[in-house]
Amino acid sequence: MYVFSPQACLDAFEAYTAELKTNPKAECPLQISVRKTKNPTQCTYLQVTMKAVPVTTKPQTKPTPVKAPFILSISEEDDPIYITADIPDPNDPEKKAASKFGPVFNTTINDCGKLGELYDKYLDPEWARQIAQIVATEGTPMYQSTTPINPLVKRVNSSKNTVPVEHRGKPKENPVIRFKPDFGKWPSKHPKEILRDTQKTQIFDFTKSVKNPKTGLLQGPLAVDKRGKPLAKETCHEIIKRGGRIRKVHIYLDSGSQSETYISWQQLLGKTYYEPPAPARHSDEQEADEADAMQEEFAAPTEEPVQQPQEDAADMVMNSMGL
């Protein structure tokens, strides 16, 4: 399983941009394509690949780009991902609407280093361009020119009345990126044996983690809730707080989907090492009521892929947040 660092992806996009000046037919390193399903009237799945130099522990005299399902890797040496909004408590009646569709981890393009640069400069605009191209040429009944494309970067505040009047519908000073944890398990027929029947999102305590002297890999205990249990969908709001940092993670970007309502790209957190907030560290981004953040329903497909099980979480459709 290949994974790519944000810097390797930036390098690939910059090389592509330079090549375009002399070769209009240069191939973009990011490729989005349609995967046919048995029931396309319900949901159409998308495959996403990246061609870049993968992360490796082996010395390379001449790094070679590889085309593979798109999985980003943030190491503890990379810029951390700062969490810029608390997760609503699903047990709080006032936050019920915000927590209805599960937890979401928020950051901004200015709070995650090279990852933010990658999303802002390349992934978000290229996603919009390629999806518009697919919508225009695919020609299946599910593809309608009026179907909204869910952006990767939320650049505009919501217009709903839960957002302060002076910010409604206005551009965000610090555009938002959202990642989704999934505490369910990978299917038993996943093409990557190492992932079969394992929990998709596992959150580890970075402060108690150390590097294995033999493998050089970071190892540590699972982060736990107030009852000493591993974090779950219902309890991760207790520990994941505004100002905390994701120090190491795999982000699965290898699939997306189109429902009758939205076209969206999965931003799934895999194995995640989390560090609690430092005092007084937070984003200056204007916060709105969290209940406005999750008002739009996810468009869930009715069938779960078997041959490409990494796409079974690809139905996450989220409208622009008012955070």
What pLDDT was estimated at residue 115?
97
Residue 225 lies in a domain: yes
Residue 131 lies in a domain: yes
Q: What is the pTM of this model?
A: 0.84
Residue 319 lies in a domain: no
How, if at all, do strands 202-205 and 268-275 pair?
parallel
From the list 268, 260, 263, 261, the residue with the least C-alpha distance to 296 is: 261
Considering the chain, what percentage of its residues have pLDDT values greater than 90?
Answer: 55
Other beta carbons within 10 angstroms of residue 218's beta carbon come to 17
Over residues 191-195, mean pLDDT: 85
Over residues 174-198, mean pLDDT: 91
Q: Sorting pLDDT into bands at 50, 70 and 90, what band is 185?
A: very high
Q: Sorting pLDDT into bands at 50, 70 and 90, what band is 37?
A: low
Q: Cα–Cα distances in Å, from 126 out to 30, 91, 123, 257?
A: 8, 38, 5, 16
pLDDT value at 209 more than 70: yes
Residue 121 lies in a domain: yes
Instruction: Give the model confidence (pLDDT) of 125-158 as tens digits.
Output: 999 999 888 887 755 445 556 678 889 999 998 8
How, if at all, do strands 71-74 and 66-69 pair?
unpaired
What pLDDT was estimated at residue 143?
54
Of 13-22, 41-50, 165-174, 312-321, the least confident: 312-321
Residue 318 lies in a domain: no
What pLDDT was estimated at residue 34?
85
Q: Sorting pLDDT into bands at 50, 70 and 90, what band is 83?
A: very high
Q: Residue 282's domain spans which residues? A: 6-313
Q: Sorting pLDDT into bands at 50, 70 and 90, what band is 232?
A: very high
150 neighbors 284 (Cβ within 8 angstroms): no
Residue 176 lies in a domain: yes
Instruction: Give the model confidence (pLDDT) of 242-290 as tens digits.
Output: 999 999 999 999 999 887 778 899 999 999 999 999 765 444 444 444 3
Kindly report the average pLDDT of the chain as a whole number. Answer: 81
d(CA 48, CA 68): 9
Considering the chain, what percentage of its residues have pLDDT values greater than 70?
Answer: 79
Residue 320 lies in a domain: no
* Cα 195 versus chain centre, distance: 18
What pLDDT was estimated at residue 214?
84
What pLDDT was estimated at residue 215?
82
Which comes out higher in pLDDT, residue 218 or 37?
218
Over residues 167-186, mean pLDDT: 92
Over residues 90-111, mean pLDDT: 81
DSSP string, 172-197: EEEEEEEEB---SB--TT-SSGGGTT
pLDDT value at 221 more than 70: yes
Q: Across 89-103, 215-229, 241-255, which has the greatest mean pLDDT?
A: 241-255
Looking at the 3D structure of the chain, how many domains does it have? 1
Q: Phi/psi of residue 318, each to 5°?
A: -130, 125
Residue with tokens 């503890």: 76
